[in-house]
């Protein structure tokens, strides 16, 4: 089939299975299955083959490591192919053949792969972040990172309990930095994503590209860093990334649900690096801040009128976190619109009765893990570790059981908080403890004791 010219997208699409077969043979089954099997044919126009990757990370990796091989495979079957475009999440880049240099010509300077344009949630901007005494320092530090030059502190470490605005700030930093310096690379990812990409790179023997991508960023932000606890190889790579990025003048922002000294299961060398910059916290919002957030949120709702006494009621009764506070307002507005009702204090009491009750006392998974660890005299880091010894596994199962009984968290979320475990592991733990409570008197007493302590 070599040498036959195809100019229609349908003909090019028919060649895609053959191109895939060529690629699988040339690069090996393992590497092909990991990186190129998820890629699909998306079109062919004006000499450009358009492919679709499942994520921006995968697209960037393919551009960086398999560009020449991809283009060669296509041109062996489709001579009209002059370039390849790989799209992912709205991002696109062309892979073009490099023209041959005449003999004796100086070598062209190496060019870095096209960087992915990180996308940030439009809702999370500095303009929509309401400040108060609980978050003023964190907000000012975030703006300094986003708009300033070389930081006097690096890294910036922001910690806050769930739903207090930490992720909003990190997203705002990224968006503002990207707008001010469009030519620079900004990367934002969770610690779980960092681990997943690192492991994937090791399996595909592409660790050098993984390292280069992260360490060449002008601004790298990693959220929920507590999830690297107990992951030794990931922590080693994380440490090297921090050292090289900061050493080369890149900016680093870390988000977590606790201060550095409370990161059980994280190496001392990492804790030292995280505390050498600026550590700031976002405290639970006081009434004034909760009221101001509600007022700003209500003002942004077209056609919705929320009386002051209703805003006061919500700010007084929903104290757990900002996310639930905003969720309560959204629910109130939706019920009013769907029921063609007027928002009043009585209406809010009726619609949000369950939320008001739940907000009285909220038990966190972190609190459960700490209480269970203390009770059984093990380190809290064991809750997220891979150890399966009985003296660790049983307390971990009890903590999962209590998380299911005492928190509104979903099974997948509980699993993630216990070292990234699958929801089926949580189901097994819950069923196991339910069964053992009827058979083991001592275990049942332990569970009852822990419940009383947590609920008290």
Buried b vs exposed e over 300-317: b needs ≥16 C-beta within 10 Å?
eeeebebeeebbebbbeb
Number of other CB atoms surrounding residue 290 within 10 Å: 26
pLDDT of residue 150: 59
Say whether pTM exceeds 0.75: no
pLDDT of residue 25: 76
Identify the helix (H) or strand (E) that includes residue 425: helix 423-437
Fold of 9-95: GMP Synthetase; Chain A, domain 3 (3.30.300)
- The length of the chain is 456
DSSP class of residue 221 equals E
**Torsion angle of alpha carbons 51, 54, 57, 59, nearest 10°?**
-10
- Please give the Cα distance from 155 to 258 (Å, whole number): 16
- Region for residue 90 given its phi and psi (left: phi exceeds 0; alpha: psi -120 to 50; beta: otherwise): left
The residue to which tokens 């004796």 are assigned:
104
Q: Assess contact for 407 and 363: CB atoms under 8 A.
A: yes
- Please give the Cα distance from 163 to 284 (Å, whole number): 9
pLDDT of residue 338: 83
Find residue 205's DSSP bridge partners. none
Domain 287-358, CATH: 1.10.8.60
Residue spans in the chain of domains classed CATH 3.30.300.180: 9-95
Q: What is the mean pLDDT of each successive set of 10 residues along the chain, which is 456 residues long?
A: 44 84 77 80 82 77 75 80 72 41 34 48 90 93 83 87 89 91 86 86 84 86 88 87 87 91 86 92 90 92 89 88 89 87 91 78 85 93 89 95 87 91 92 89 89 76
Residue spans in the chain of domains classed CATH 1.10.1750.10: 365-455
- Please give the Cα distance from 25 to 216 (Å, whole number): 32
- Please give the Cα distance from 15 to 270 (Å, whole number): 50
- Please give the Cα distance from 361 to 378 (Å, whole number): 26
Domain 365-455, CATH: 1.10.1750.10
Residue spans in the chain of domains classed CATH 1.10.8.60: 287-358
pLDDT of residue 106: 35
Helix %, strand %, coil % of the chain (to 5): 55, 10, 35
- Please give the Cα distance from 139 to 130 (Å, whole number): 9
Right CATH number for 126-282 from 3.40.50.300, 3.90.1150.10, 3.90.700.10, 1.20.1260.10?
A: 3.40.50.300
Strands 156-160 and 278-282: parallel
């Amino acid at each position: 089939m070599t040498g036959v010219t195809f100019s229609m997208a349908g003909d090019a699409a028919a060649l895609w299975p053959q191109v895939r077969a060529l690629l699988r043979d040339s690069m090996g089954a393992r590497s092909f299955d990991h990186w190129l099997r998820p890629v699909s044919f998306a079109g062919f126009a004006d000499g450009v083959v358009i492919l679709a990757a499942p994520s921006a990370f995968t697209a960037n990796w393919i551009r960086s490591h398999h560009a020449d091989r991809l283009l060669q495979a296509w041109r062996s079957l489709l001579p009209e192919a002059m370039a390849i475009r790989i799209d992912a999440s709205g991002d696109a880049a062309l892979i073009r053949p490099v023209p041959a240099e005449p003999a004796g010509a100086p070598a062209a300077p190496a060019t870095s792969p096209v960087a992915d344009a990180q996308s940030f949630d439009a809702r999370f901007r500095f303009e929509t972040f309401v400040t108060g005494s609980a978050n003023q320092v964190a907000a000012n530090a975030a703006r300094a990172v986003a708009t300033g030059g070389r930081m006097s502190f690096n890294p910036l470490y922001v910690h806050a309990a769930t739903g207090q605005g930490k992720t909003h700030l990190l997203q705002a930093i990224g968006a503002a930095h990207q707008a001010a310096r469009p030519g620079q690379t900004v990367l934002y990812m969770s610690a779980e994503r960092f681990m997943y990409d690192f492991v994937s790179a090791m399996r595909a023997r592409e660790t050098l590209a993984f390292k280069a991508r992260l360490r060449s960023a002008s601004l790298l932000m990693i959220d929920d860093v507590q999830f690297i606890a107990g992951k030794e190889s990931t922590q080693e790579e994380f440490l090297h990334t921090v050292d090289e990025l900061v050493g080369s003048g890149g900016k680093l922002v870390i988000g977590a649900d606790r201060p550095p000294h409370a990161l059980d299961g994280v190496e001392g060398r990492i804790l030292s690096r995280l505390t050498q910059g600026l550590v700031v916290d976002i405290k639970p919002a006081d009434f004034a801040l909760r009221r101001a957030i509600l007022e700003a949120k209500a003002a942004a709702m077209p056609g919705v009128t929320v009386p002051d006494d209703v805003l006061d009621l919500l700010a007084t009764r929903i104290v757990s976190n900002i996310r639930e506070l905003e969720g309560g307002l959204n629910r109130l507005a939706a019920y009013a619109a769907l029921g063609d009702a007027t928002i009043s204090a009585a209406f809010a009491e009726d619609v949000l009765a369950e939320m008001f009750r739940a907000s009285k006392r909220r038990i966190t998974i972190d609190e459960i893990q700490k209480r269970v660890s203390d009770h059984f005299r093990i380190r809290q880091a064991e809750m997220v570790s891979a150890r399966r010894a009985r003296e660790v596994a049983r307390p971990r199962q009890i903590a999962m059981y209590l998380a299911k009984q005492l928190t509104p968290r979903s099974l997948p979320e509980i699993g993630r908080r216990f070292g990234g475990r699958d929801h089926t592991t949580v189901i097994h733990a819950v069923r196991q403890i339910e069964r053992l409570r009827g058979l083991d008197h001592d275990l049942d007493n332990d569970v009852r004791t822990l419940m009383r302590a947590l609920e008290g």
